[in-house]
Chain A
Amino acid sequence: MVSEIRANELDTEKFIKEKAGEISSIVGNGTALMLCLAGLILQSSRYLGIRLWAVG
């Protein structure tokens, strides 16, 4: 079950730090923040046939 974070409750700085932490535990520190940012760009310009993939 995915918990929702509403836009008006979103602390952007905290969110990015948390996501970077979560992802770093999967792929390593070096690429975590980059992946987080890339995910955001992807969603913003989503459905354009773009996908990013990482060699973890």
Chain B
Amino acid sequence: MKTVFINNGIMRKGEPEKIAGTFEKLGVKVEVIDARKKFLDALKGITDPEEKREAITQTFYKDVFGQLVKKSGAKYLLQGTILTDIDETIAGIKRQHNVFEQLGIDTKKEFGYKIIEPVVQLRKDGVRKLGKALGLPESIYNRMPFPGPALAARVIGEANEEKIELVREATAIVEGELKNTKAFQYMAILHEDKVTGMRDGKRDFGMQIELRCWESLDARKAKPTRLPYETLEKLASRLTNEIPGVVSVTYNITTKPPSTIEAV
């Protein structure tokens, strides 16, 4: 078995190093593959959320893994698809990047390898229970979910390098400030539309960040965390002062449904 980490250029701040380090502590040697250019090129000019997801799916499975598999002669790809991924894809809510068979896609034919999904019958809470029972570190089995399209899912509209970098900084601030809330998931989302703001007495037509913080058990339903107003004020202050170009910060108070946890 070979373990690889694909650095796709849309990960959070310091994530490739953190992940490789975590797995090394578990005795798993991880090969880091630098595929940043491939993913950023694939995302160029795409604004539609589903097209964005499809571009990432194709780059992952056909291009990057396809080549790795060809080089090594591997026959199987192991992945952690869960039932919620399948439900959301079949219902047409979001095309999760890791669902194929249920959409009638033969991965052997399409990509040259078969996919094994040992935890496909479970949801997030079941996976966590299993992880705990097996004695995995809590930092692994209780880790906050993060979307397949990574930070590209946190940018509404085209996810170019500049916007990814901006949302990466915003994510670091939000995750740092909210890490003690014990919420199910929290995030910063960069909106496509600009809004009028002001800085130093002058007009600043700038960007807006939406904050989301969710309470949920298995991601099927969720409600916004009732964050203290002081926390929201601190986040708004940090995001507008530390990230150039951001002039507006909002907090989403919609439940899932009708909202979804991620915006894209």
A residues contacting B by CB (< 8 A) are 2-7, 10, 12-13, 15-16, 19, 22-23, 26-27, 31, 34-56
Contact = CB atoms under 8 A, between A and B. Distances in A.
A12 to B, nearest CB: 4
A51 B77 contact: yes
Given A2-B121, A10-B129, A49 B7 contact: yes
B46 interface: no
Contacts of A6: 123, 126
Contacts of A53: 1-2, 4, 65, 68-69, 72, 74, 76-78, 113
Nearest to A9: B126
A36 to B, nearest CB: 5
Nearest to B117: A39
A44 B141 contact: yes
Interface string B125-161: 1111111011010001111011110100000000000
B30 A50 contact: yes
Interface stretch (B80-88, B163-171, B186-194, B199-207): B80-88
Interface of B: 1-8, 11, 15-16, 19, 22-23, 26, 28, 30, 60, 65, 68-69, 72-83, 86, 102, 113-114, 116-123, 125-131, 133-134, 136, 140-143, 145-148, 150, 218
18 contacts: A10-B126, A12-B129, A40-B118, A40-B131, A40-B134, A40-B136, A42-B80, A43-B80, A45-B140, A46-B82, A46-B145, A47-B145, A48-B11, A49-B8, A49-B11, A50-B4, A52-B78, A55-B75
Contact of A54 (B74, B102, B127): B74
Contact of B80 (A3, A26, A39, A49): A39
Contacts of B26: 41
